[in-house]
């Protein structure tokens, strides 16, 4: 239950949130020019005369970006529109040399869709997608390099963005975070956006209003400059309280664009109201309508990978995992593939999941390493888990072996061999150890037999210690019970 109501002075309030996610399309070149979109180049180098909006330059649409857009639409289980139109969205800003952004308005390339988001309590919720369109990114203004000037870098100008607009279905900051996470995951699975929020290749605008539950929608404010999931959560928290305070004090919320200030942790009004949203859209006369064929859409559909939700449900069915474990494992494609290799080698799906999630990911996290740089590869971890499954070593010894593997990169079998860690399953050998423990602890034996059941753990511990941890615990338990009774 994340449908959080906020207590105000006049009763409870509900927040209504819709998100616009801007995702930079993975491609080599820009939406309408042949300049590179590589991040981090020297200022104004990845700029063609088209991106700089020199007179007479004409935009030519990038076919690969169109295909990426179609792929994303299919991945969002959305309608792909065979007819879409590029339009000019007019506004003035120094990092927008054309004076307009080429975007899509009445006829976007992708229409309505739906995604399932995973909430922190393990439940899921469906969030509607209103539309997705292709548009140009703007350049970047740098305000802190000169006391009285702003510097403009057009490297990003004209890069392709997908703007994914959600329905106002989101009712809490948790749901908003879950939604952005799921969009990010789907785009990364599809290979249409790298989802890197630090480099700005994924950004979100947040539309927020508040209302008394059951009422009509209130007036919304749009929050920009929300560059991480943490910032989004903070911005939502601030903005909701600001709006409730205004209404409870008898005022009205203005429909306006507000900027999130990550230093002061507040939102403030951005553009003057009278100019707001007066973009004067019209079809771009430089570009004909984009018409897609069924053949192209079908061809792209055939290349779709298994998507996160499908994978999650398959893991739950095929491997009998719970929803939480499954969603951790499918969060990244390489992690899911790693897990599947471990299972294939080890056999035990649940035990493999525990080892990947708790031991491997934990150790990598501690070492500050990515899965791709893991010293232990999937087959090796699979072999280790297999040795627990076939009783060669106990789970406890396996942890020592694993630590050694992370250190040395050696195979589990080699370490078990070298260190002589193979579990003792020979009942005769274990019985001999038990007999010795019984002889050495006559007082405890008497106490146990006198009814002090708790001492059983003591004996197990002594036997394990005497065997240097190598005795099979199940056999130890069984034999001990017989000998002590």
Smaller CB distance to another protein: residue 34 or 395? 34
Instruction: Indicate which single residue of 39, 151, 281, 458 sits in contact with another protein (rule: CB under 8 A).
Output: 151
The SS3 assignment for 430 reads helix
Rounded-to-integer distance, Cα 37 and Cα 24, Å: 10
In sequence order, the 6+-apart residues with CB closer than 8 A to the CB of 440 are none
Nearest distance from residue 90's CB to another protein, in Å?
7
Residue 71 found at the interface with another protein (CB under 8 A): no
* Of 1, 56, 149, 366, the one binding another protein by CB under 8 A: 149
Q: What angle do CA 282, 138, 54 make, to 5 degrees?
A: 75
Provide the minimum distance between the beta carbon of 275 and another protein in the complex, in angstroms, as a whole number. 7
Distance between CA atoms of residues 351 and 337, nearest Å: 16
Q: How far is the CB of 109 from another protein (least distance, A)?
A: 12
In terms of Cβ atoms closer than 10 Å to its own Cβ (0-12, 13-18, 19+), residue 357 is: middle
Q: Is 200 among the residues that bind another protein (CB under 8 A)?
A: no
What is the DSSP secondary-structure string of 261-322? Answer: ETTTTEEEE-S-GGGTT----EE-TTSPPEE--HHHHHHHHTTPPPPHHHHHHHHHHHS---
Please, what sign has the CA dihedral across residues 399, 401, 403, 405? negative
Q: Should residue 276 be labelled a site residue for another protein when binding is judged by CB under 8 A?
A: no
Q: Answer yes or no whether residue 153 interacts with another protein by CB under 8 A.
A: yes
The 84-123 contact track toward another protein, x by CB under 8 A, reads -x----x-xxx-----------------------------
Size of the site for another protein (CB under 8 A): 56
Measured CA to CA, the distance from residue 106 to residue 268 in angstroms comes to 30
> Quick check: 124 binds another protein (CB under 8 A)?
no
Residue 254 interacting with another protein (CB under 8 A): no
Q: Which is nearer to another protein, 36 or 467 (CB)?
A: 36
Q: Is 374 in the site for another protein (CB under 8 A)?
A: no
Cα–Cα distance measured from residue 279 to residue 4, given in angstroms and rounded to the nearest whole number: 35
Complex with another protein: residue 257 or 392, whichever CB lies closer: 257
Question: In the bound complex, what is the minimum distance in angstroms from residue 267's beta carbon to another protein?
Answer: 13
Q: Is 35 in the site for another protein (CB under 8 A)?
A: yes
CA distances from 430 to 441, 445, 462 (A): 17, 18, 12
Give every CB contact of residue 121 below 8 A, 6+ residues apart in sequence: 1, 2
CA 425, distance to chain mean position in Å, is 44
**Window of 22-30, 124-132, 303-311, 453-461 that interacts with another protein by CB under 8 A:** 22-30
Give the one residue of 2, 13, 51, 242 binding another protein; rule: CB under 8 A: 51
Counting Cα atoms < 13 Å in the Cβ hemisphere of 451 gives 0
| By CB under 8 A, residue 143 contacts another protein | yes
Paired tokens of 474: 């199940």
Name the residue among 158, 156, 100 with its Cα closest to residue 284. 100
- Contact between 42 and another protein by CB under 8 A: the answer reads yes
Residues numbered 286 to 345 that lie near another protein (CB under 8 A) are 287-291
For another protein, the closer of residues 48 and 136 by Cβ is 48
Degrees, nearest 5: CA angle 322-328-332: 135
Find the part of the chain contacting another protein (CB under 8 A) among 9-17, 74-82, 200-208, 269-277: 269-277
Parallel/antiparallel/unpaired status of strands 257-261 and 221-226: parallel
Site map 446..485 versus another protein, x via CB under 8 A: ----------------------------------------
Q: Is 145 in the site for another protein (CB under 8 A)?
A: yes
The footprint of another protein (CB under 8 A) covers: 27-29, 33-36, 42-52, 60-66, 85, 90, 92-94, 141-143, 145-146, 148-154, 259, 270-271, 274-275, 278, 280, 283, 285, 287-291
């Amino acid at each position: 239950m994340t449908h959080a109501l906020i207590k105000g002075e006049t009763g409870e309030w509900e927040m209504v949130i819709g998100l616009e996610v801007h995702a930079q399309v993975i491609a080599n070149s820009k939406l309408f020019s042949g300049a590179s979109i590589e991040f981090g180049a020297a200022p104004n180098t990845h700029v063609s005369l088209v991106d700089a909006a020199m007179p007479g330059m004409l935009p030519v649409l990038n076919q690969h970006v169109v295909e990426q857009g179609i792929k994303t639409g299919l991945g969002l289980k959305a309608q792909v529109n065979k007819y879409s139109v590029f339009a000019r969205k007019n506004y003035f800003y120094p990092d927008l040399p054309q004076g307009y952004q080429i975007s899509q308005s009445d006829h976007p390339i992708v229409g309505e869709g739906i995604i399932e988001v995973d909430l922190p309590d393990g439940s899921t919720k469906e969030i509607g997608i209103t539309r997705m369109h292709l548009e140009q990114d703007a350049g970047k203004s740098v305000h802190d390099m000169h006391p009285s000037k702003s510097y403009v870098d057009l490297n990003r100008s004209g890069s392709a963005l997908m703007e994914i607009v959600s329905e106002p279905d989101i009712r809490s900051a948790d749901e908003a975070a879950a939604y952005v996470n799921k969009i990010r995951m789907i785009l990364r699975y599809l290979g249409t956006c790298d989802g890197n929020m630090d480099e700005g290749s994924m950004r979100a605008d947040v539309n927020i209003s508040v209302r008394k539950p059951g009422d009509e929608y209130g007036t919304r404010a749009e929050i920009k400059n929300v560059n991480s999931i943490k910032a989004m959560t903070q911005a939502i928290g601030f903005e909701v309280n600001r709006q409730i305070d205004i209404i409870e004090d008898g005022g009205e919320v203005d429909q306006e664009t507000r900027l999130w200030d990550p230093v002061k942790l507040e939102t403030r009004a951005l553009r003057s109201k009278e100019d707001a949203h007066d973009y004067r859209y019209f079809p771009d006369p430089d570009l004909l309508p984009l018409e897609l064929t069924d053949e192209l859409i079908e061809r792209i559909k055939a290349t779709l990978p298994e998507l996160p939700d499908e994978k999650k449900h398959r893991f739950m069915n095929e491997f009998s995992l719970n929803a939480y474990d499954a969603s951790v494992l499918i969060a990244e494609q390489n992690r899911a593939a790693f897990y599947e290799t471990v299972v294939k080698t080890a056999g035990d799906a649940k035990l493999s999941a525990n080892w990947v999630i708790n031991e491997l990911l934990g150790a990598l996290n501690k070492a500050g390493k990515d899965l791709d740089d893991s010293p232990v590869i999937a087959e090796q971890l699979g072999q280790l888990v297999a040795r627990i499954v076939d009783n060669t070593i106990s789970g406890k010894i396996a942890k020592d072996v694993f630590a050694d593997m992370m250190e040395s990169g050696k195979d589990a079998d080699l370490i078990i061999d070298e260190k002589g860690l193979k579990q003792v399953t020979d009942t005769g050998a274990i019985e001999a150890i038990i007999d010795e423990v019984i002889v050495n602890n006559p007082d405890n034996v008497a106490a146990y037999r006198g009814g002090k059941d708790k001492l059983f753990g003591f004996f197990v511990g002594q036997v394990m210690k005497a065997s240097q941890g190598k005795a099979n615990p199940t056999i130890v338990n069984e034999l001990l019970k017989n000998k002590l009774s």
